[in-house]
Amino acid sequence: MIEQVAQLWFYLLVAHAVADRGLQPERLSRQKQRPTNPVTTWFPNLACHGLIHGGAVAIATGVWWLGVLETGAHMLIDDSKAMGRINLWEDQVLHLLCKVIWLMVVICR
């Protein structure tokens, strides 16, 4: 059991790193920012980024609705950072806290 939990935690961390760094080009990072872009630009780009994260969580956990929750949570957290409500460190802590919650959901199922 402990090995399976550690394995899933590792997969969630890798998925986050790949989705946040490897699959987020500079252009997407800029265009998902609400303060500097019209809604027709920032929202679709933020949604696309959130869906990448949601898909990664769904694949890692095998639970599609955790992917949906991750999509929404990731979008809210990233938008809060863009609006200056939280800083980069708080952003990353919140993202990792979500991963802990998803992990706990999978364990308790």
> Domain locations in the chain?
2-108
What per-residue confidence (pLDDT) applies to 1?
A: 87
pLDDT in tens, the chain (109 residues): 899 999 999 999 999 999 999 999 999 999 999 999 999 999 999 999 999 999 999 999 999 999 999 999 999 999 999 999 999 999 999 999 999 999 999 999 9
Query: In 89-102, which positions are buried (b, 16+ CB within 10 angstroms) versus exposed (e)?
Result: eebeebbeebbeeb
Q: Is the pTM of this model over 0.85?
A: yes
Contact assessment for residue 36 and residue 30, using Cβ atoms and an 8 Å cutoff: yes
What per-residue confidence (pLDDT) applies to 77?
A: 98
